[in-house]
Structure 1
Amino acid sequence: MQTSGNTILITGGGSGIGRELAHEWHDLGNTVIVAGRTQHSLDETATGRENIHAMLLDIGDADDIGRFAREVVAAHPDLNVLVNNAGIMRFEEVGEARNLADAEETIVTNLLGPMRLTDALIEHLKAQDNAAIVNVTSGLAFVPMPKTATYSATKAALHSYTISLRVKLAGQVEVVELAPPAVQTELTPGQSTREGYMPLGAFIEETMAGFTRAETPEEVLTEKVLFLRNAEAEGRFSEALAMTSSF
């Protein structure tokens, strides 16, 4: 993925990882479109940076994704990078009968949303030079956290889907997976100050070092996420699962 000269669309760009990636890529000389459900948050991301553009998108609504895809391509015909970053995490008790509304919303937002938006933009991206898709998964794609079982499952599924995309788009669109560790953002209440989680600034710094290499790796990983990413390969899966289970 080239460092500058892109037109980059980032979903979930109104806060957290999405906002900070938008700022970093903008400052490297890219045009950035941030998309999300809340205009005020998107405008805050764009403040002071003339080449960040805010556009409303409900990633959980299939019809709105279609509307958005048509409008973003019309407004930004040079769009060549899609970053599927929007996501939600809900705590749940899967060991008992419960209302599945949170689980269903998580699947629609975290998995169907990226699939639908990718599908809506894929033909456009294939026609662009230096095209790329970046799917944001999680360390929990590799070792689940039982307290967030559906979130973990959607990220595992997106990891698998990303591998398939990479194979099918080889030579046409570069496909990159960004798998964060637990990062201090407001993904869940109180997470931005939770002890033991990676500070957002440190995460962004290490992540951007991966994206600015001469060749972007297929998986952009921080040192902190490797405990989960490599747990099974290194024979530590049970240990890692015990850790995530103790949350």
Structure 2
Amino acid sequence: MPSIDDSKCVLITGGTSGIGRALALDIAKLPSHPKVIATGRRKDRLDELSAAGLQAEYLDLSADTTALKKSVDDLIARYPDLDTVILNAGIQHQVKAKDGIDMKKITEEIHVNYISVVAFISYILPHFLKLSEAGRPTFIVTVTSGLAVVPLAAVANYSASKAALSSFTLSLRAQLAETNVNVLEIVPPLVESELHDPYGTTEALSKFWMPLDEFTRLTVNGLREGRATIADGTSKALVEKYNQGKFEAVMQGRKMTEKW
């Protein structure tokens, strides 16, 4: 089964902090020594990653899809061996319906967490299919959340955006099942992260979250094993309880609609 050990060049979005940064640094240490491109918006963090031996590239996923297409095309031109993308970047806002829903934040969250990811996939896919036809395995890895399975009311739209991405990932995996383009999904539980700092919930959540180094170790192991769905900790229990047989059902639906 193909695994990340087969990758020659790995790009990670949201690579300047948290899960993305940890994965970038650990993947760069694999015995296969892939080239790792960490992307993000913070120049100081990008400089640190560059000093650590990684390729560091500016990428703004909040930009419109036209600008994103140009960025992806430029990345492919600069890194023609690019064969793996880990689409990790995301933002999270709290939603308090009784206080009024901030549609600007809703739109931003949906754009970064879902639309930009789908757009990135659509722009990188022709390159991956070309490699696939030449016999090269490629990997599209989305990062969703345990909240895609069971939402958390306080972050209602974040949960919805991750549920949308999880659904899209399953359908994409079904559509590309006969190619060398492997579609994987990382389903993190609550993980040690800066994501929670803006709302002052870090101290409270730190009593429950999975340490970042533990999550990274388990996730890299899952990528090396070529697991289609990489879910550990509390997310593993949720996926096993609620998602059992879901992909098989998606494949059955695909077969029913092949003549459409």
Instruction: Judging by fraction of residues, say which structure has more helix.
Output: 2
Give the whole-Å Cα distance in 1 for the aligned partners of 2:97 and 2:186. Answer: 27
User: Does 2:222 correspond to 1:210?
Assistant: yes
Query: CA, structure 1 residues 231+96, in 2 after alignment: closer, same or farther (shift >3 Å)?
Result: farther
Q: 2:235 aligns with which of 225, 229, 233?
A: 225
| Secondary structure in 2 matching 1:91 | coil
| Secondary structure in 2 matching 1:127 | helix
Query: How far has the Cα of 1:232 moved from its partner?
Result: 3.5
User: Does 2:43 correspond to 1:44?
Assistant: no
| Secondary structure in 2 matching 1:230 | helix
Spell out, residue by residue over 1:156-188, the C-alpha distance to the aligned partner (whole angstroms, 9 max, x if none).
Answer: 000000001101112320000000000011011
Query: CA, structure 1 residues 130+233, in 2 after alignment: closer, same or farther (shift >3 Å)?
Result: closer
Query: CA, structure 1 residues 139+24, in 2 after alignment: closer, same or farther (shift >3 Å)?
Result: same
8 Å CA contact 1:46, 1:53 repeated in 2: yes
Give the percent of matched residue pairs that are identical in Structure 1 and Structure 2: 33
Query: How far has the Cα of 1:26 moved from its partner?
Result: 0.8
| Secondary structure in 2 matching 1:212 | helix
Query: How far has the Cα of 1:5 moved from its partner?
Result: 4.4
Query: CA, structure 1 residues 20+39, in 2 after alignment: closer, same or farther (shift >3 Å)?
Result: same
Note the 1:89-168 alignment, pairs <5 A. Answer: 89-128=92-131, 129-168=136-175
Q: What are the ranges of 5 or more consecutive residues in structure 1 without an aligned counterpart?
A: 235-247
Q: 2:210 aligns with which of 198, 221, 227?
A: 198
Give the whole-Å Cα distance in 2 for the aligned partners of 1:54 and 1:197. Answer: 28
8 Å CA contact 2:210, 2:233 repeated in 1: no
User: Does 2:177 correspond to 1:170?
Assistant: yes
User: Does 2:43 correspond to 1:35?
Assistant: no
Q: 1:83 aligns with which of 78, 81, 86?
A: 86
| Secondary structure in 1 matching 2:25 | helix
Spell out, residue by residue over 1:133-178, the C-alpha distance to the aligned partner (whole angstroms, 9 max, x if none).
Answer: 0000000000000000000000000000000110111232000000
Give the whole-Å Cα distance in 2 for the aligned partners of 1:232 and 1:167. Answer: 19
Give the whole-Å Cα distance in 2 for the aligned partners of 1:155 and 1:71. Answer: 27
8 Å CA contact 1:181, 1:222 repeated in 2: yes
| Aligned twin of 1:185 | 193
- The count of aligned residue pairs is 230
Q: What are the ranges of 5 or more consecutive residues in structure 2 without an aligned counterpart?
A: 245-260
Give the whole-Å Cα distance in 1 for the aligned partners of 2:42 and 2:15. Answer: 10
Query: How far has the Cα of 1:36 moved from its partner?
Result: 1.4
8 Å CA contact 2:14, 2:88 repeated in 1: yes
Give the whole-Å Cα distance in 2 for the aligned partners of 1:122 and 1:80. Answer: 10
Give the whole-Å Cα distance in 1 for the aligned partners of 2:230 and 2:107. Answer: 28
Query: How far has the Cα of 1:231 moved from its partner?
Result: 4.1
8 Å CA contact 2:11, 2:82 repeated in 1: yes
Cα RMSD, aligned residues only: 1.7
**What TM-score, normalized by structure 2, do the two folds share?**
0.84
**What TM-score, normalized by structure 1, do the two folds share?**
0.88
| Secondary structure in 1 matching 2:183 | strand
Give the whole-Å Cα distance in 1 for the aligned partners of 2:97 and 2:140. Answer: 32
